[in-house]
């Protein structure tokens, strides 16, 4: 199979590329940066802005499947960069896929498209989109996901996957930031501290994409639908964080901030932080840190054969080995 991966130099995109190469598929990666490590794997790389539809058409020549992973993430409050990367970019990828004769498109979405601030425990795929969004990122991802799912037809089969809190060796954001804040004495428990959360090891996130692609056809059970992807076992978030910090000899959080206070701080910081920067706290982040959001993997298992490759215990140990090696 010949595949194109947008954002192949990123955390999830890179894992997808490696798994494709490992099983013998021909891979082209599209991103704005340059990644010699991908070229060392024999991957063809194209440096493009996703708004360059003509360039995407050339890059997709001969491809059967597109994995669209590239996105702008974060909690900055400036709307336009997210719209350009996540909405305009996604429409451009869809247009190029149709013009190139691509048969399958797997979109890396986000559970945040359904996050309304309330507790979600073992939620299934019928969870609706949030009625309103507290940050440009989830708003733009919901808009992009709708575009992808609406595009599913007899010529181009599409599916959206929503991996949740992806972590593992090479994590560029989530865990390194967490550990850095703890070591700086800036980490505090938000809310009661008993919230249940699903995480997703990067190997499982990538294998879910391949499984969804392999079984995707216009009339497949998962065509035109969205699926949460996570570990089969959820954790109590702050207990899991404490376990990591103890193993890494990092200080545990000593403060507990009530959710209403963190939410108010988020409002203030959103208003007084430049729109292109990420505030230290936001309304969206406060609710994420304090609420439960765990997901049922049965729909993904049933509809396209998703099977967890790395257990939660193995995933945590993998993360710790990498964090120690990197001296985080």
Separation between Cα atoms, residue 136 and residue 81, nearest integer Å:
9
CA distances (Å), 64 to each of 41, 172, 185, 278, in order?
A: 20, 30, 49, 38
C-beta separation of 140 from 86 below 8 A: yes
Burial 44-55 (b: 16+ CB within 10 A, else e): ebbebbbebbeb
C-beta separation of 45 from 34 below 8 A: yes
**C-beta atoms surrounding 277 within 10 Å:** 12
- In a 10 Å sphere around its CB, with 0-12 CB exposed, 13-18 middle and 19+ buried, how is residue 287 labelled? buried
Q: Which of 35, 129, 137, 263 is catalytic?
A: 137
**C-beta atoms surrounding 326 within 10 Å:** 12
DSSP-H helix ranges across 184-258? 202-214, 237-247
137: annotated active-site residue = yes
C-beta separation of 128 from 122 below 8 A: no
Cβ within 8 Å of residue 64, ≥6 positions away: 1, 2, 3, 102, 103, 104
Query: Strand, coil or helix: what is 56?
Result: helix
Active site residues: 137
């Amino acid at each position: 199979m010949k595949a194109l991966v947008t954002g192949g130099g990123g955390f999830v995109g890179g894992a997808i590329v490696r798994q494709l190469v490992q099983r013998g598929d021909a891979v082209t990666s599209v991103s704005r940066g340059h990644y010699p490590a991908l070229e060392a794997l024999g991957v063809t790389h194209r440096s493009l802005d996703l708004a360059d539809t003509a360039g995407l058409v050339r890059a997709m020549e001969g491809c059967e499947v597109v994995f669209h992973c590239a996105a702008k993430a974060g909690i900055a409050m400036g709307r336009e960069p997210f719209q350009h990367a996540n909405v305009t970019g996604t429409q451009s990828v869809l247009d190029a896929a149709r013009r190139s004769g691509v048969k399958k498109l797997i979109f890396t979405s986000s559970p945040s498209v359904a996050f309304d601030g309330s507790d979600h425990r073992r939620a299934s795929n019928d969870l609706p989109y949030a009625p309103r969004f507290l940050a440009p990122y989830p708003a733009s991802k919901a808009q992009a996901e709708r575009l992808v799912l609406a595009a599913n037809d007899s010529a181009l089969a599409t599916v959206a996957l929503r991996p949740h809190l992806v972590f593992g060796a090479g994590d560029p954001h989530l865990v390194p930031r967490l550990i850095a804040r703890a070591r700086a004495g800036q980490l505090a428990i938000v809310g009661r501290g008993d919230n249940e959360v699903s995480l997703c090891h990067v190997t499982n996130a990538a294998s879910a994409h391949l499984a969804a692609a392999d079984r995707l056809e216009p009339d497949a059970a998962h065509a035109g639908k969205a699926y949460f992807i996570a570990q089969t076992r959820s954790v109590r978030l702050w207990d899991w964080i404490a376990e990591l910090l103890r193993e890494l000899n990092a200080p545990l959080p000593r403060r507990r901030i009530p959710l209403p206070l963190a939410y108010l701080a988020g409002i203030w910081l959103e208003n007084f932080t430049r729109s292109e920067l990420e505030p230290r706290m936001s309304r969206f982040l406060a609710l994420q840190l304090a609420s439960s959001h765990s997901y049922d993997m049965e729909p993904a298992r049933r509809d396209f054969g998703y099977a967890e490759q790395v257990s939660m215990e193995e995933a945590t140990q993998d993360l710790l080995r990498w964090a120690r090696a990197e001296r985080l």
